Structure 1
Amino acid sequence: MHPVVHTRYGSVRGTLGPSGIAAFKGVPYAIPPLGELRFRPPLPPRPWNGVRDAVDYGPTAPKSPYAPPFDQLIPEVDIPGEDFLNLNVWTPDPAGRLPVMVWLHGGAFANGSGSAPCYDGTAFARDGVVLVTLNYRLGVEGFLHLATDHSEATANLGLLDQIAALEWVRDNIGGFGGDPEAVTVFGESAGAMSIGTLLAMPAARGLFHRAVLQSGAAHHTLSPTSAALVGNRLAQILGVPPTRAAIGEVPPKRLLPAQQRLRAEISARPDPRLWGEAVHNLMPFEPVVDGRTLPTPPVDAIDAGAAAGIDVLVGTNRDEYRLFLVPTGMSALVGEEMLERAATGYGLKPVEGVAAYRAAFEEASPGLLLAEIATDWFYRIPALRLADAQSRHGARAYVYEFAWQPPTFDGQLGACHASELPFVFDALDDPAFVGLLGPHPPQQVADAMHAAWVAFATAGDPGWPRYDADRPVMRFGGATGFPAAVETDPRGALRTSWDGVR
């Protein structure tokens, strides 16, 4: 049996799994952004006649592969084709009215897709949720900003793609059994940073009602000046004028290597005079505070109440930054001078700040101390700031930490960036994660974490106390031996080291 659902643009035919879960894949939510539509905001898809097959994943946005060793650790798929602004839906009951969860993938705004098998929505649908994943423009195509940009140019096209997909959900998800008044958007890394930005974007208001942010919050944006530095250097690499028209003539097969070179240059020479704020994140393409699509920095807008009323579940992995230091061997190369220089760059006082981390982790090498500091700067402190802001403005805020330690890399990898993904999706049998997590991750931790996400999307309560003055944090995995346990203000002394800094 092949279920058929009617959308505003035409009918789609999906597949029905043995468990009764219907899946519809590769459904377009916007016209392909090609030709004269390149570097322009998304437009609704063209209607079609008859019934369109939606049985296979659609094309993915143009991107380069992950560099080694990350290409062996982080699942990635590349499906060629032009119609890459598409989404996928899993539903247990097209005739129902169920909570909806919309997934925004990570990948440093340059990689990833909603079509990776690890994001299969069957487990969520099994538990009574309509699950949506999607693709959006990446890198140059999604986040280019130039000094020559003016009122006719539009920044943050990748974010506008996400908004277009959420508008499609609002207008069409009822036909798949979803409730458009109960939409939870959730994402990881760049996907979570996207959500932190959407919380502050006027065009996104009313399109979702709850938000889950995994390993990302509202601090990761670029000013127009910094974004223009990046864009102008891209034009130099390509040998074209620094205008959208000129760069728009460059085919993706030339653009993508230039984009990779750009990131390598920032990493090799992180000079603020060359790159502005991009030296901190080491991501050349991020959301831009352009004054139009994104009027003010998201953290400031949210602090002022821009997202009041939206409940949030936000958190991080215990050892996020080890992903970038341990597999590459960089952690063994970090000395005291590099550690103090990096800490100063993040805004910590070079003596007192580093001393606080040394006191907390007496046995840690300089490389692992740097991982602790960078984890807090990139991920943990922004997450706590978001929870604080939402709590102040009357929303329910919940904080978690994923702490399960895999045996890989001689036990040095820790609960690193991206390691929670198969637990959230209840997909521990996905072989793509073996290199990261080893062969037998604990199912009981996945059961607890996945159930919490479903409960939050369904009722707004994942099952532990709200984040308030006591700062309760649910830890999944870890040394307690329990799948999950609440802790009060973990590493609170280190948290206060960032007051007034981050």
Structure 2
Amino acid sequence: MTIHTVNTEAGRLTGDHTDGVARFLGIPYAAAPVGERRFAPPGPTERWAGTRNATGYGATAPQPALHPAHAYLAPLIGPGWVTGDGDYLNLNVWTPDPGTSGLPVMVYVHGGGFMIGSGAAPAFDGTSFARDGVVLVTVNYRLGAEGFLALSGGITNIGLRDQIAALHWVRDNIAGFGGNPDNVTLFGESAGGSSVAFLLRSPLAVGLFRRAIVQSGHDEMARRLELTEELTKALAARLGTSPTTGAFRAISAPNLLRGQAALLRSEPRPDLRDDNGVDPGHRRALFLPTTGDDVLPDPVGVPSTLSRGVDLLIGTTLEEANLGLGADAFAAFDAHDAVAELAATYPDAETLLERHGLHDPAVTPAQALTAAYTDLMFRAPSRRTARRHPGPAYVYEFAWRSPLHGAAHGLDVPFVFDTTQACRGLIGDAAPDALTQAMHQTWLDFATHGNPGWPTYDDARKAMRFDASPHLCEDTAPNDTGAEYLPKRSGQRTSTSRGSR
């Protein structure tokens, strides 16, 4: 192992270099969000004296611990909350050679329902990308209440503002690591994918990236400002405080996490349905981005021209809801339970479930419910996002079924990063090498040239199907308008039953 040194605007860094790849880990891209900087927009990184050691991962954002029953998800989630010195607005860089120049740059935003995760997860190791000629960056950002409240006297979309600050850091510093700041691809999965889709619509992110990849995300999982304020008030009441920045700064991070958990378990929960009777988080993603501010000024569903010059690759897995949405709890559901579960956040629940075989003897209620969630929360809005994009848009679907979870949410990530060996508890031992090579190379090609190797979506509705033998085919997702997944009623929020079991 050798040591490399690079200069950044905040000071010098040392990283390690092994097997042809240099790593610089835990690099601050913004000031530590502590004290008066908590619940505030990211501030500039303070300069340091001397040379900073960047050979180990840094702190991570406050977040609840992963439930022991979901330990198999750890490779996608990372180490959990690593307190460190609170300097968790940091990023990690892998590069083949910091002494070169002009390499494509890929910046990854992790998922986790906007509540958990970090850029230090084993599945996101950037070694393979760097060996193949890319500068790979992974980013931490504020999560949960720390990142997505709407506080009186405060500011909204703090987590997205963190991501934008990280992109500014990349623009200003990545050349020192061999990267080309004019050839940046922003990509992410789940909440990270939705973050990318939102930054495509943000006037504050214009010009900060040239290409975007949205994995299992879209630009519809957001709430208008009034509903985020209702959520903030509900959390403040649970904590016994007021919904102001000063009051929330007085709440310690552990106590804030306990308040979040209590709010998730509470009945009745705050009613976060929109005027169509839909909760875009479906009572699972409690903290979401907010529309109606300077980050996301436009309402959900309104086409934006801001990303006209950005190439987009977007897709989903075939069986998203097999994993991570409570699917393990659906096994004992009967038809009434399935309808009640979905009706809590979607007004036409029984009609939608019937389209997925609710009363078909060959389909269990659990299967109908997971299929409905897969299309409602991921596949249909993903395709609508592709259709709204003003620039070239390419669509894929990950359809390889692992023996453990089928083609579930998140299973595409290890294939993209070529980290399947680190994720065997999630995908099993039978990951096809050809699939890894195909997905990893596609992401490389797209980041380098802006073309993944198949036609744009447009009216042809062609999608690349990634399975054991990847091939282009007719897209099987709901039609491109997604009309069957939009509620039939509009206007005031409906009186749909909350559907508690």
Same fold per superposition (TM over 0.5): yes
1:245 is matched with which residue? 246
CA distance in structure 2 between the aligned counterparts of 1:381 and 1:338, rounded to whole angstroms = 24
* Change in 2 beyond 3 A, CA 1:251/1:34: same
**Pair 1:163 & 2:149 matched:** no
Letter in 1 for 2:54: A
1:486 is matched with which residue? 472
CA distance in structure 1 between the aligned counterparts of 2:326 and 2:481, rounded to whole angstroms = 24
* Change in 2 beyond 3 A, CA 1:281/1:174: farther
Whether the 8 Å contact between 1:21 and 1:91 is mirrored in structure 2 is yes
What is the DSSP-based 3-state SS (H/G/I as helix, E as strand, rest coil) of the residue aligned with 1:283?
Answer: coil
CA distance in structure 2 between the aligned counterparts of 1:476 and 1:41, rounded to whole angstroms = 39
* Change in 2 beyond 3 A, CA 1:367/1:296: same
Could you tell me how far 1:476 is from its partner in structure 2?
A: 0.8
CA distance in structure 1 between the aligned counterparts of 2:115 and 2:191, rounded to whole angstroms = 9
Could you tell me how far 1:499 is from its partner in structure 2?
A: 6.3
Moved more, 203-212 or 459-468: 459-468
What is the DSSP-based 3-state SS (H/G/I as helix, E as strand, rest coil) of the residue aligned with 1:181?
Answer: strand
Moved more, 177-186 or 217-226: 217-226
Whether the 8 Å contact between 1:65 and 1:71 is mirrored in structure 2 is no
What is the RMSD of the two structures over their aligned residues, measured on CA atoms?
Answer: 2.5
Q: Deviations over 1:357-409 (max 9, x none)?
A: 2299873211111111111111111110111112xx2x11111111111112x
* Change in 2 beyond 3 A, CA 1:458/1:279: closer
CA distance in structure 1 between the aligned counterparts of 2:49 and 2:221, rounded to whole angstroms = 42
**Pair 1:404 & 2:400 matched:** yes
Letter in 2 for 1:141: E
* Change in 2 beyond 3 A, CA 1:349/1:33: closer
CA distance in structure 1 between the aligned counterparts of 2:409 and 2:163, rounded to whole angstroms = 23
**Pair 1:299 & 2:301 matched:** yes
Could you tell me how far 1:89 is from its partner in structure 2?
A: 0.6
1:110 is matched with which residue? 115
Could you tell me how far 1:282 is from its partner in structure 2?
A: 2.4
Could you tell me how far 1:496 is from its partner in structure 2?
A: 5.3
Runs of 4+ aligned residues of structure 1 deviating over 6 Å after TM superposition are 273-276, 359-362
Whether the 8 Å contact between 2:321 and 2:327 is mirrored in structure 1 is no
**Pair 1:323 & 2:323 matched:** yes
CA distance in structure 2 between the aligned counterparts of 1:360 and 1:178, rounded to whole angstroms = 55
Instruction: Give the one of 107, 114, 136 matched to 2:141.
Output: 136
Could you tell me how far 1:280 is from its partner in structure 2?
A: 2.2
What is the DSSP-based 3-state SS (H/G/I as helix, E as strand, rest coil) of the residue aligned with 1:299?
Answer: coil
* Change in 2 beyond 3 A, CA 1:71/1:204: same
CA distance in structure 2 between the aligned counterparts of 1:473 and 1:362, rounded to whole angstroms = 31
1:262 is matched with which residue? 263
Letter in 2 for 1:282: R
Could you tell me how far 1:74 is from its partner in structure 2?
A: 3.7
Identity, in percent, stands at 41
Q: Deviations over 1:252-308 (max 9, x none)?
A: 121111112222237x757557998366252221111142332123531xx142322
2:83 is matched with which residue? 80
**Pair 1:498 & 2:500 matched:** no
Letter in 2 for 1:317: T
* Change in 2 beyond 3 A, CA 1:254/1:349: closer
Moved more, 379-388 or 273-282: 273-282
Question: Structure 1 length normalisation: TM-score?
Answer: 0.90
1:227 is matched with which residue? 228
Whether the 8 Å contact between 1:476 and 1:485 is mirrored in structure 2 is yes
Could you tell me how far 1:501 is from its partner in structure 2?
A: 4.5
Instruction: Give the one of 415, 422, 426 matched to 2:407.
Output: 415
**Pair 1:474 & 2:464 matched:** yes
Give 5+ residue unaligned stretches, structure 1. none
Whether the 8 Å contact between 1:26 and 1:54 is mirrored in structure 2 is yes
Moved more, 491-500 or 225-234: 491-500
Question: Structure 2 length normalisation: TM-score?
Answer: 0.90
2:374 is matched with which residue? 375
* Change in 2 beyond 3 A, CA 1:38/1:326: closer
CA distance in structure 1 between the aligned counterparts of 2:295 and 2:66, rounded to whole angstroms = 29
2:127 is matched with which residue? 122
